[in-house]
Amino acid sequence: MSVKKFITGSFYEEAKLFPAVKKVRRSGYKIHDIFTPFPIHGLDKAMGLRDTSLHIAGFIYGITGTTTALGFITWALTVDWQLDFGGKPFFSLPAWIPITFELTVLFSAIGMVLTFCYLCQIAPFVKKDHFNLRSTDDTFVMALECTETTNEAEVISFLESLGAVDVGVQYKETGWWLGRYDKESKRIEQNVETAHS
């Protein structure tokens, strides 16, 4: 495993963070990640992350639940073991709606949470690195990835000019626990449309 170099800076104000993200990306630096104590709406757009398709996964799981329930009940009560309730039809769909609905919700919820954990690579006993412990308290921590050609001093002074504090260099072993979104980031255009510019 190789060691990577990061330059991290802390922000305390959303008002400073958003312009900083924009300028950093315009200048061509690569934002490894921004760690925040709570979701900041629009930050994903500003960073150029694409939308998540987690909800589509949820829909597919839900449909799976629906077909599982309907298919199984239909088979059990009309094919495998027909039960005669006062001469009512074996295929009594209205009575099966509650269980079908419940299984739809159950499959969708469990599937989505597992997918969420898988995509974020989080699970019990997993330890991950987030550069600054205060990023779960009140600090927005921006981590820039350095390459061999990166001029350290220049980046540090650049970040400081954008309002970052505690700017410093950190070395991390690369690995899945750092998280990588290279494939997801879109190239920055001249006029980026962001929700909050």
The residues near 152 (Cβ < 8 Å, ≥ 6 apart) are 7, 146, 169
Tokens of 94: 């209205």
For other proteins, the binding residues in 2-21 under the rule CB under 8 A are 14-15, 18-19
Q: Out of 63, 71, 85, 174, which residue is the one contacting other proteins (CB under 8 A)?
A: 85
For other proteins, the binding residues in 135-164 under the rule CB under 8 A are 135-138
At closest approach, how far in Å is the CB of 129 from other proteins? Answer: 7
For other proteins, the binding residues in 161-190 under the rule CB under 8 A are 177, 179, 181, 184
At closest approach, how far in Å is the CB of 47 from other proteins? Answer: 6
Cα–Cα distance, 32 to 179 (Å, whole number):
9
H or E element that contains 6: strand 3-11
Number of chain residues interacting with other proteins (CB under 8 A): 78
Q: Which stretch binds other proteins (CB under 8 A): 2-10, 130-138, 151-159, 161-169?
A: 130-138
For other proteins, the binding residues in 90-119 under the rule CB under 8 A are 92, 95-96, 98-99, 101-103, 105-106, 108-110, 112-113, 116-117, 119
Cα–Cα distance, 6 to 76 (Å, whole number):
59
At closest approach, how far in Å is the CB of 71 from other proteins? Answer: 12
Contact status: 78 vs other proteins (CB under 8 A): no
Angle value at C-alpha 135, between 133 and 137, nearest 5 degrees: 90
Q: Out of 7, 73, 155, 162, which residue is the one contacting other proteins (CB under 8 A)?
A: 73
Cα–Cα separations (whole angstroms), residue 156 to 10, 17, 98, 141, 169:
12, 16, 60, 14, 9
Residues 28-67 as x/- pattern, contact with other proteins by CB under 8 A: -----xxxxxxxxxxxx--x-x-xx-xx--x---x-----
51, 181 Cβ separation under 8 angstroms: no
Nearest to 17 by CA among 108, 99, 135: 135
